[in-house]
Amino acid sequence: MTTRIVELRQGILKKNDELARSLRAQFEASGVLVLNLVSSPGTGKTEFLQRTLRELINSGAKAAALVGDLETDNDARRLAASGAPVRQINTHGICHLEAEMIAKHLDGWKLAELDYLFIENVGNLVCPSSYDLGEKIRVALLSVTEGEDKPLKYPTLYNSADVAVITKIDIAQAVGFDRDAALRNIAEIRPGVRIFETSAKTGAGMAEWLAYLAQQRSAK
């Protein structure tokens, strides 16, 4: 019997990372801007996305969405009301989306005909941050009802964000939202990140957000 050490030096999520890389190449070649929306449950991702899709489609852009949930297709039905093609991904207990689930659900969609593809991740502030989905932009959302220190509590997720969106600002005053503290905490975890302050209900901040999307798309 001999004991030996075998060096592996291998990423544990290698399969996911490789697939995500090939998806990213495919998205770039097709000219579609792909965004991955992450937040805790109840932040208002679906409401925010529904408004975003509706406004994009009204402006003549072609946008589609994949939406991840443990169970039900409620969110897909809500989002489809915007007129955009939407597909539900049910993870059946898995707490995050993986690149393979994205690849499977793209079947039959002509990516080259799309301007934007939004991926609404499972509501979870921990696990989705480990899984690359091939997106170009990771959007971390935070609602005014959640507490201004959430970015400090979940640095793994907020630090991985390319852009941050604060939602439900129409009720900020009623819930005693400390805006300065929230902005400071986001900047402490992800210095320099662009922050949008929005309300899907009133439309506040949506013009800036949509201008950012258009600019990101044309920057490709």
Partner 1 sequence: MHELSIVSSIVDSVTETLAAYPGARVKEVRLRVGALASVIEDSLQFCYEIATRDTPLDGSALVVKVLPVRMHCDKCAEDVEIASLQSFRCPRCGEPLTDMRQGRELEIDSIEIDQVEENV
Q: CA 170, CA 144: separation in Å to the nearest integer?
A: 9
- Do 96 and 138 meet the contact criterion of CB atoms below 8 Å apart? no
Phi (first) and psi of residue 47, to 5 degrees? -65, -45
The residue from 29, 126, 181, 211 that contacts partner 1 (CB under 8 A) is 126
List beta partners, residue 65: 86, 118
Q: Does 192 bind partner 1 (CB under 8 A)?
A: yes
**Smallest distance, Å, CB 70 to partner 1?**
12
The DSSP secondary-structure symbol of 107 reads: T
Q: Does 96 bind partner 1 (CB under 8 A)?
A: yes
In the bound state with partner 1, the residue whose beta carbon lies nearer, of 77 and 153, is: 153
C-alpha separations of 206 from 23, 123, 167 in Å: 28, 22, 10
The residue from 106, 137, 171, 187 that contacts partner 1 (CB under 8 A) is 187
Q: Does 19 bind partner 1 (CB under 8 A)?
A: no
In the bound state with partner 1, the residue whose beta carbon lies nearer, of 39 and 199, is: 39
**Smallest distance, Å, CB 124 to partner 1?**
9
**Smallest distance, Å, CB 78 to partner 1?**
26
What is the widest separation between alpha-carbon atoms in the chain?
A: 72
